[in-house]
Structure 1
């Protein structure tokens, strides 16, 4: 009979060892043994095995005692009573001698590695049924931080084993149909990094809400990462676009959200942690601020959204939220500003810069603003923002679309302004669309197609300017059917905005899978009356 191996160093573990040491410890082993040569430093550690847990259950009849308590639950006993009884069974007896000796020997090796007699370690629970495709046990067991010395280590290990039977864990396994004694628990022991002196956080290797795989999401706050994982702090959040990260010339950080980060967890004496309220200034805690002492442990059932991630694994997506995987990346169409003069005038500070127009709908709006002296600088800011997104962030699937273009001459003038700002149609894959919302856009579709890569039909304005009617389902369907007869070379033709729900143009004919977004800001300081619009359509 093969002897039981009670502990395994992280260096010997990988993602295929989930059944042996649980999901968390297998994930810690993966970067430890695969990324060291790349300069990724993972603090050393070890994991107890599922076989060692089975040996614990077979000591002094513990397995049968646990089963009797579960039977009591099925007979109607209260969950909290059963949970407390099972946990007390684990804590009332010492760990089996082989497991105890192996854990202490591995801890001594960590001490020798660090050069300290009693190094601080994190003691984490890792269930063998953790992060399965059909169920997630993440956050149901305990983690103990800043554990120092052999005695404290053994106590923390025992409490981790007992935490496999928290009330929450028992209830979840009951609802999911898991056999309580078929799920094993591994304990991970890892040297701690003094992040309480700086900051820590969680890395998701994809978007945890949507499953979108091309971004990495980092949540971070001051101190130990406990407050971030438990959801007790409002952290900073950084979203990194992976394709752009491959090019050193690009800035891959596409979104930064600054949190308050008021709470900070740090080391305390005797192996405890303390939580400090940093206050709104984010600086040192004020003198005399209350500090709450508590055991150095955390779970993820606190208030606020838990942030649990795995390096080199999919993150633990909360099962109470819909996990909708996004389709593959597709072009994003950004429509430049198209507010009317009366709408701009209602904005803060807008009145002195906007003319009074009897009919703003056919006034100084859309493309006519972009090259006029009264708004040329404002449109330049829009162009610079678009160029930054495409050229600095590497999001070259962004398509520019400008609205309400009356004439071919107007199209040429706007394209010239864009080129002056570094947005040249065709360079670096740049496509430029136009909103087809004026009868001239439809009548001169072939000529406009020589200047643009695609059309989005704006049925609201087009309906009013063509038939002097409000938009209706019948009129929209008639107008959108124009897409079927679009001349060759027009590029993608599709509906815009709310009219999409009425579109009768088949997807194969519309050819556009693009998403649309719009800019609605008015850059401060841009002003001036419109230039006379007397140019004729060529």
Structure 2
């Protein structure tokens, strides 16, 4: 193609060297995808040929070479001075008459299509080079918005040409020995979408944090799109699940309201074509797109991804810019390019930590020991906090040292490199959260807050077995990658215990057979943080506690119906986990907060009793049918209903915790049915936790109401041995491998086979003790659900025993 100016619809991917990747992609989509209903603004391209013609006509090549001769790119002042001189040379150049006539001709024809003499356009630059594929990433190519009129257009095109010589681009090419004149620049001129009157943003056909490929991420804010692209505002965010979206479901699995404090709109003068203005509070507190618009954009992004993947013969995730025209009330795709960072990650390997320093050397450095949680090693500075009120002192990467934690500590724990506590066992709050966050923790040290010193550099190791160590200073260790493709594949399904939705996409890359336990309480605590009855009885809260009411209003902004806030947030948390492992089964356990934990939620103090022993009190099934909590439980049922029926994630099974008697189970099923969750309907299965001796003893009676059982070894050990699992005083007695506990577990598995009910395990035992996992396989367990950080040890242990038993 030798032409100087071409219409967008005339170009395709094969024209990248002449029109640039952005323009080639837009042209390709106009030809292939516009007929399918994807809207793309019309426009034309001033090609790389035109750029070279402009440089030659103005005799700029020699002038630029002379200006850059002897440049020292390490001298920032020299680089800037010469760069600015080069850019001014280009901006001062004149267009050849024939090129100028062509640009004006195309601009007038574009204007005529919209019944105006001078249409508003966006002018975007794109570097091109056949021999220099990374050139387009080297410089900061410019974009000019709301450009109107011939003179302004020509000036903007020259400024785009000049942007090929930003300081950064010059430095990049000089450093790598690339010829500045083997790179050229094309300029796209597109009809402006009046998103200044509506909204705009960016979409990706994968999750940009994890690389998870089955979601579309859409972000958006009010006004022109530059604010989102630059990161100048916190936009609204949506995650949409591709598989069920393509089946016709409303597949939004997450929504986050951004602050959207500012927006870019049209300016009033030619000197100020755009300006930044504040967004009214009423607009900030609502989403900038409707759910239907998000779903439309997501379908378009999927179609774009599918088209390029088929064309390239490989999966090609896409980075897309969109805009909504406020005059036409119409959505447009304004740019699309391949995503090149996260899509290249290798998820076939995981990391293993191992201490390499000799035992006699590291023994001298031991400061405190406790129970190891996880398998990792971390280094950092000690930060001793005795209260969550000290959170402002804690920085990301510090080692959190405290007495013990509860749900209020989770925001701090998320920033910690490691966690060390005086109190707690392997199933305490700190241990559970540390596992979910993937950070090492040493719990139950008894004296960490006394022995460790503020600011002290330490190494926390959980890579040496059941005992966790805190060492003074640095200890040598190595980190190795394990190729998951080389792991054996056991016959026994290995599932995960997952609580934190944020980790679900990452965990999905590990070998697994689904989720054996997804805990609602973590979602309620992290996503909602408000007691359900405070939302149900919001009018009472308004009357009795104005300050609390204001805080709830702040946290639920965008929701008039406070109960719907609870349903949506819980549903989104569950959906993210269910989507990560789809179509594998995901067993979601209804809430199992104890009364003291529920009391910690916002407004909880008004609705929770004070119990002497909450661990054995009003928890689990007993809550669900009680008049004081039934409606709150109903919100959980509605959340599950939304996940299964609206989002389409039918892989979700629900599970009832701490169900003391078969009669309780029957009552719970009746309440579920009242709220639209009927066992057996649309494939819904209902499991029960097997964590109380009565669940084992009355297995037959429980099996009349439930489809399956999941052994909770933590509570079953506690209640079989009569040991408070949170008490350090009797922790030496707490042992899942005690013969009494193993008898209970073995009996449950036998009863399951007898009464044709699936029996799995989701307790801590197989994660901590690979030999216990082997015992379960010997007994014929149906599934083993473990903490993800134990996957390597458990897979190998299970495979070994299966081989020994002749099942491998």
Q: Which residue of 1 aligns with 2:669?
A: 415
Contact 2:589–2:655, Cα closer than 8 Å, also in 1: yes
- For residues 60-98 of structure 1, what are the alpha-carbon distances to aligned partners after superposition, in whole Å with 9 as ceiling and x for unaligned? 554455456666345754332343233233223224455
CA 223–349 in structure 1, closer or farther in 2 if over 3 Å, else same: closer
Alignment of 1:260-409 (within 5 A): 260-268=259-267, 269-270=269-270, 272-282=273-283, 309-310=320-321, 313=336, 316=339, 326=506, 327=508, 329-330=581-582, 331-345=585-599, 347=601, 350=604, 353-409=607-663
Counterpart CA distance in 1 for 2:346 and 2:266 is: 36
Output the CA distance in 2 between the equivalents of 1:38 and 1:263: 34
| Cα gap change, 1:177 to 1:243, in 2 (>3 Å) | farther
Partner secondary structure for residue 118 of structure 1: coil
- Say whether 1:495 aligns with 2:762: yes
TM-score (norm 2): 0.53
Larger CA deviation: 17-26 vs 470-479: 470-479
Whether the 8 Å CA contact 1:366–1:404 is kept in 2: the answer is yes
**Secondary structure of the residue that 1:168 maps to in structure 2?**
helix
Instruction: Report what 1:85 is aligned to.
Output: 85
Structure number with greater CO (CA < 8 Å, separation at least 6) is: 1
- Could you state the TM-score of these two structures normalised by the residue count of structure 1? 0.76
Deviates more, 1:218-227 or 1:54-63: 54-63
Question: How far apart are residue 345 of structure 1 and its match?
Answer: 4.3
Contact 1:211 1:323 survives alignment (8 Å): no
Q: Deviations over 1:320-352 (max 9, x none)?
A: x99987546334443211122333345555456
5+ unaligned residues in a row in structure 1: which ranges?
Answer: 284-306, 517-538
**Is structure 2 residue 373 aligned with structure 1 residue 119?**
no
| 1:47 counterpart residue number | 45
Determine whether 1:24 maps to 2:284: no
SS in 2 for 1:111: helix
Number of matched pairs: 488
Structure-2 separation of matches of 1:18 and 1:477:
65
**Greater displacement, 226-235 / 171-180:** 171-180
- The separation in 2 between residues aligned to 1:514 and 1:313, in whole angstroms, is 41
Structure 2, unaligned runs of 5 or more: 285-317, 322-332, 348-504, 509-579, 789-808
For 1:186 and 1:502, locate their aligned partners in 2 and report how far apart those are by CA, in whole Å.
Answer: 62
Partner of 2:219: 219
Match of 1:467 among 709, 721, 734: 721
Matches within 5 A, 1:136-215: 137=137, 140-171=140-171, 180-215=180-215
Moved more, 148-157 or 403-412: 403-412
The offset of 1:24, in angstroms, is 1.5
| 1:45, distance to aligned residue in structure 2 (A) | 0.3
User: Which residue is equivalent to 2:254?
Assistant: 255
- 1:259 Cα deviation after fit: 2.8
More moved, 324-333 vs 186-195: 324-333
Determine if contact 2:217/2:237 at 8 Å carries over to the other structure: yes
Q: Distance in 2 between matches of 1:406 and 1:512?
A: 23
Give the conservation status (yes or no) of the 8 Å contact 1:72–1:82: no
Residue deviations 1:148-194, cap 9 Å, x none?
22222121111112112222344556778876544432110011122
Task: Deviation per CA, 1:96-137: give whole Å up to 9, x if none.
Answer: 45543332222122122222222111100123379x998972
Give the distance between the partners of 1:20 and 1:428, measured in 2 at CA: 55
Counting helix residues as a fraction of each chain, which structure ranks higher?
A: 2
SS in 1 for 2:645: helix
Tell me the CA shift for residue 496 of structure 1.
4.6
CA distance, structure 2, for counterparts of residue 480 and residue 19 of structure 1: 69
Provide the rounded CA distance (Å) in 2 between the counterparts of 1:82 and 1:384.
Answer: 65
**In 2, Cα distance between the equivalents of 1:43 and 1:164?**
25
The 1:398–1:216 alpha-carbon spacing in structure 2 relative to 1, beyond 3 Å, is same
Distance 2:705 2:177 in 1: 62
Report the Cα offset of residue 400 of structure 1: 1.7
| Distance change in 2, residues 1:240/1:177 (3 Å) | farther
Distance 2:680 2:178 in 1: 57
Query: How many angstroms does 1:309 deviate by?
Result: 3.1
Q: Residues 6-31 of structure 1, C-alpha deviation per residue, up to 9 Å, x if partnerless?
A: 22211123344333322221232233
- In structure 2, do the counterparts of structure 1 residues 102 and 342 end up closer, same or farther at CA, with 3 Å as the change threshold? same
Secondary structure at 2:581 match in 1: coil
- Equivalences for residues 430-445 of structure 1 within 5 A: 430-442=684-696
- By how many angstroms is 1:371 displaced? 2.4
Change over 3 Å in CA distance of 1:414–1:169 after alignment to 2: farther
C-alpha distance 353-318 of structure 1, shift in aligned 2 (>3 A): same
1:497 Cα deviation after fit? 7.0
SS in 2 for 1:270: coil
